[in-house]
Amino acid sequence: MSSGFPWVTVIGAIPLAGVVAIMALPKSRELQARGIALVASLVAFAASVGMAIDYKTHGSRFQFTQDYNWIKAFGAHYAVGVDGIALALILMTTVLAPVCVLASWHDADPDPAEVAYAERGDALHARGPRLFFALFLATETLVVGVFGSLDVFFFYVLFEAMLIPMYFLIGSFGGARRSYASVKFLLYSLAGGLLMLVAVIGLYVVSVHQLGHGTFDYRVLTAPGALHMSHGEQIALFLGFFIAFAIKAPLWPFHTWLPDAASEAPTGTAVLLVGVLDKVGTFGFLRYCLPLFPYASRTLAPYVLGLCVMGILYGALLAIGQKDLKRLVAYSSVSHFGFIALGVFAFTTQGGSGATLYMVNHGFSTGALFLVVGFLASRRGSRFVDDFGGVAKVAPWLGAMILLAGLSALSLPGLSTFVSEFLVLVGTFTVHRWFAMLATFGIVLAAVYALWMVQRTIHGPVVPAVEGFKDLSLRESWVIAPVMIAIVGLGIYPKPLLDAITPAVQQTNSVVRSHDPTPSVPEQSRTNPAPAEVAINGGTVFRSAK
């Protein structure tokens, strides 16, 4: 059964076809894998633009749906479709994928010593562009499937399968500590996945008892009045999903795998990991935790908000103390994910819309930071702040990109992150003003670590090792340009994306909270008569008293 053009399946199938084409290449032509990966990712991006154009903002909740029996014995389906939330995240994924491919152009080039060793017949030379870009495109396919899934079991399978190509991308092509970082990433994620599996099974058992048949269909499980779980059942199942998503996000204190994985991953892989894969966690909060377990979400929200604020401040403080630029960006992401989760668990339209937009904007902002750090490291052979200085004087365009990336990290007005951060804080303040006020300190700390990084790298006297730096190459310009265009474009005009996101957020939050709260207004004193009130769109606007 399908409804409309199967955009999600097509977008996911394009990079998968690229994987098949790459693996069919003979060993002597494996460098062609780069071109195939780039073409496949660009075609997938074009298809996602077509989906966005075809998407009807005021149409049905889920569009371009497909639903086919997969494992009939226990009601698992191949069910996919998108709402505004999934649409925005798939668009972000397909924009960043070709950027990551270009950024990784030489990351998997064979080492001459390894090639010679393999040619002598002593070992099989397995590491190379063919394996790297096949894993890369496989990851893109799985991520698109995760965002488009409408079956809980199908989502879980893809959620776990994402770990495999990313594990090999880090473990086979990363830095000196790649083995440690990849194993830590895998173990943390598997632990969360096991908890989620228990919760998925529990959800299925509940559906058998209450519906008379087991199902994983998201639309059936979230239909009004479909399931009537006890409070204890809701909390237990909520925690199974929440912890898995909190590890993936990563939300403090489940974040400790991220700095190691991000710092050891190649540049393009780090962008894919932190800019795209980690959004599956915060997407899961919004898609599954809230609609499936509304009582547990309301009950545990204050504790989650506390974790969010701790993550915002903790991540920012540790970012300030980092000398390794990649670890600085990783810890800043812990802070940003705190803001995203804060907006989700505020249960307001502004907070949820801001959180979803933040997921997209964080992908571009953090992607830009990892890219410019990669540009610096490739020239200097080091990621330490103290090894740079005066870059803007010898490479002005590179310096400008570093400055713009740093300003986006601190949410400068006019750049995309400002819009989303502002919406999150406003949406949170209407219901939890103290959490919002504490989170605001994270903005101040972000200015400290972002400006400190910019000042130490591109300003000041030119250190001897920087004197020979070349400015951005043509490939690097093509890598960074789309990301910067998105940062500026969404900062100036985010309306089209918000128009698609907001209805989906409202429908999601309606399960937890029937309507958005009206901000409270202090009572007027008796000596100052209350102003006349005018109701507009269900709210209240105050005019000055006569």
pLDDT along the chain (546 residues), means of 10: 81 94 85 90 95 89 88 84 92 94 81 50 58 92 93 92 91 84 89 91 87 83 80 90 91 87 88 89 91 90 92 91 89 91 90 92 91 88 83 88 90 88 89 88 89 86 82 89 92 90 88 66 46 40 36
Whole-number Cα distances in Å, 337 to 12, 247, 340, 430, 535: 26, 11, 5, 20, 36
Q: How many CB atoms lie within 10 A of CB 379?
A: 17
- Residue 131 belongs to a domain: no
**220, 217, 218, 221: which is closest to 69 by C-alpha?**
217
- Residue 541 belongs to a domain: yes
Element (H, E) at 232: helix 231-248
The pTM (predicted TM-score) of the whole model is 0.87
Q: Print the domain residue range for 503.
A: 323-546
- Residue 114 belongs to a domain: no
- Residue 494 belongs to a domain: yes
Peptide bond into 291 cis (omega under 30): no
For the chain, the domain total comes to 1
- Residue 103 belongs to a domain: no
- Residue 356 belongs to a domain: yes
- Residue 7 belongs to a domain: no
Q: Which residues pair with 76 in a beta bridge?
A: 71
User: What is the per-residue pLDDT across 303-321, written as a single tens digit (0 to 9) for each?
Assistant: 999 999 999 999 999 999 8
User: What is the per-residue pLDDT across 43-86, written as a single tens digit (0 to 9) for each?
Assistant: 999 999 999 999 998 888 889 988 888 888 777 889 999 999 99
- Residue 355 belongs to a domain: yes
What beta strand segments (E) does 368-477 contain? none
User: What is the per-residue pLDDT across 475-496, written as a single tens digit (0 to 9) for each?
Assistant: 889 999 999 999 999 999 999 8
**84, 108, 94: which is closest to 22 by C-alpha?**
108
